[in-house]
Amino acid sequence: MRVLQIASEAVPFAKTGGLADVAGALPVALQQLGCQTTLVLPAYRSVFGKGLPIEQTDLRFPVAVGTRSLEATVFTCRLPGDDGQIFLIGNDHCFDRDSLYGTPDDYADNAERFIFFSRAALELAARQPEPFDIIHCHDWQTGLVPAYQKLLYSSWPTIGQARTVLTIHNMAYQGQFWHWDMLLTGFHWKYFNWQQMEFYGQLNMLKAGIVFADKLTTVSPTYAREIQMAPGGNGLEGVLAGRSRDLVGIVNGIDTNTWNPHADAHIPRHYSADDVDDGKYTARVALAARLGHAAPDPRPLVAFVGRLAEQKGVGLILDLINRMAGSGLAHFVILGTGDPASEQALRTVAASYPDTVDVVIGFDETLAHLIQAAADILLMPSQYEPCGLAQLYAFRYGTIPVVRATGGLADTVVDTNDQTLADGTASGFVFEAFESAALEEAVRRAVAARGDQDRWRELVRRVMEQDWSWQASARRYREVYEQTLAAPSVAVADVE
């Protein structure tokens, strides 16, 4: 099976979020399962400063974007341990910029940039010597690819007979642009209608992908259900519900080489489930020194590592710390950056409880790994969470997550109680309501459970032995590809 992956970012080339982790790891895992995989990315300015073995090819071709013709320059790269083909599509006008999408505001011409990239990726695929079976695109930046493949490239021998798969990583980002950007796409205006590409008078690239793709996936089974209802669908819940038979949730895998307490270069002592207590204590000593303490606090260590945003439940965490910091039950450490008001509020609470609360504003890869290794409990009280990776990292390091039952958190963390402890399925502490009292109750349950060393040690051993590798997720994607190839292609409705 030949698979073409098209994404706007992928590790190690460019990253702003979890999409890059998926697009970087999935092709490698698919290759190991026997799928011949080609990955196509934009050649952003930043990718050339990473020391990667990128080479320019002789391949150049024009790409129509509205009435303009933009030239695509093709680069290639081979990464150690990856037999798949990687192409990067360059154009200085589109990609020679300081950031991927614009910061703090999006670039005004993002529609033009990713219309160019989507068409260029298919033009490149059409020039390959062998046909592709599956074209797998990701998020709104490549949402027009399934429409292009069906409407403009259906007669091209290398891609015309392929099946398309769209993965939705986060419904909050849909690629909505003013209606005149429809002129840039090259599509007939008849497709700018409420059933296909139009959304409240705007061009919606993600909606186009949902409508035209043969198969839809998202990053957890629970999130697949949530986005078919308000508010999870962010206005597209009806469109998604109409495609419910073609929508599959697959939990992301994690890089088990990078997040591996057996070999992690960021932590002072490697450990496994057999010597987790010693490994965690050594990490606690190193973390205390990093944070300016003479010795580690003997109380349970409760941590949060991530973006300081309301979606991640930072408001609940602030309430939790204010309510629990004076109790003497736990020590809290927070690492993250985001909303300025939340950053200042966390600094204030840390100053009020210097022996109980540590806050580090910013992001530090070594510190993130060290906190995962040192902590007993990880907080993930998200308002919504399509998949979530931090709880899977926590499992690897024997850190027990406290999560809200939403999205991928509900699919990966099983609440700890007498029944789940007895049947061996317990893996964390789960609460339902997006309320600080519900979070506090779950944290207090976790802290109390930490006091029973034998039961806690058994819980830690079980979570460390779980398999959340990309190999497991890739097998599920391959099954989806096989099902998609066995079914008829989605018919294009002719809406006048």
Q: Distance between CA 297 and CA 99 in Å, rounded?
A: 41
Residue type present at position 474: A
Q: Is residue 493 pLDDT above 80, yes or no?
A: no
Q: Per CATH, is 2-253+472-486 categorized as 2.40.50.250?
A: no
Q: What's the first-to-final CA gap in the chain, in angstroms?
A: 37
Please tell me whether residue 12 adopts helix, strand or coil conformation. coil
Q: Is residue 334 pLDDT above 90, yes or no?
A: yes
The helix (H) or strand (E) run that includes residue 64 is: strand 54-65
φ/ψ (deg, to 5) at 73: -110, 130
To 10 degrees, the CA torsion angle through 449, 450, 452, 458? 90
Condensed to tens digits (0 to 9), the pLDDT of residues 265-304 reads 999 999 999 999 999 999 999 999 999 999 999 999 999 9
> Residue 361: beta bridge partners?
336
Q: What was the pLDDT predicted at 104? A: 82
Q: Distance between CA 224 and CA 167 in Å, rounded?
A: 11
Condensed to tens digits (0 to 9), the pLDDT of residues 103-138 reads 888 999 999 999 999 999 999 999 999 999 999 999
Q: Which residues contact 468 (CB under 8 A, 6 or more apart)?
A: 251, 253, 254, 256, 392, 395, 396, 412
DSSP 66: T
Q: What was the pLDDT predicted at 363? A: 85
Q: Is residue 77 pLDDT above 90, yes or no?
A: yes
Give me the mean pLDDT over the 181-205 stretch: 97
- Taking alpha carbons only, the member of 401, 420, 419, 402 closest to residue 468 is 401
- Taking alpha carbons only, the member of 267, 222, 218, 278 closest to residue 243 is 218
Whole-Å CA distances, 332 to 301, 304, 374, 439 = 6, 8, 12, 14
Contact 2, 133 (CB under 8 A): yes
pTM for the full model?
0.94
Q: What was the pLDDT predicted at 32? A: 94
Give me the mean pLDDT over the 200-212 stretch: 98
Please name the CATH architecture into which domain 276-466 falls. 3-Layer(aba) Sandwich (3.40)
pLDDT band at residue 166 under the 50/70/90 scheme: very high
Instruction: Tell me if 2-253+472-486 shares its fold with 276-466.
Output: yes
**Domain residue spans of the chain:** 2-253+472-486, 276-466
Condensed to tens digits (0 to 9), the pLDDT of residues 431-473 reads 999 999 999 999 999 999 999 999 999 999 999 999 999 999 9
Q: Determine how β-strand 54-65 pairs with β-strand 68-77.
A: antiparallel
φ/ψ (deg, to 5) at 427: -145, 5
Whole-Å CA distances, 480 to 139, 149, 183, 354, 387 = 18, 19, 34, 51, 18
The helix (H) or strand (E) run that includes residue 136 is: strand 134-138
pLDDT band at residue 496 under the 50/70/90 scheme: low
> Residue 204: beta bridge partners?
176
pLDDT band at residue 81 under the 50/70/90 scheme: confident
Residue 231 has which token pair? 């508010």
Q: Is residue 397 pLDDT above 80, yes or no?
A: yes
In order, the DSSP letters of 339-360 are -HHHHHHHHHHHHH-TTTEEEE
Q: Is residue 495 pLDDT above 80, yes or no?
A: no
Q: What percent of the chain has pLDDT over 90?
A: 95
H helices, E strands: number in the chain: 18, 18
Task: Find how far residue 152's CA is from the centre of its chain.
Answer: 30
Give me the mean pLDDT over the 8-14 stretch: 95
Give me the mean pLDDT over the 369-387 stretch: 97
The helix (H) or strand (E) run that includes residue 212 is: helix 205-212
Q: What was the pLDDT predicted at 80? A: 80
Tell me the CB-side half-sphere exposure of residue 428, using CA atoms within 13 A.
30
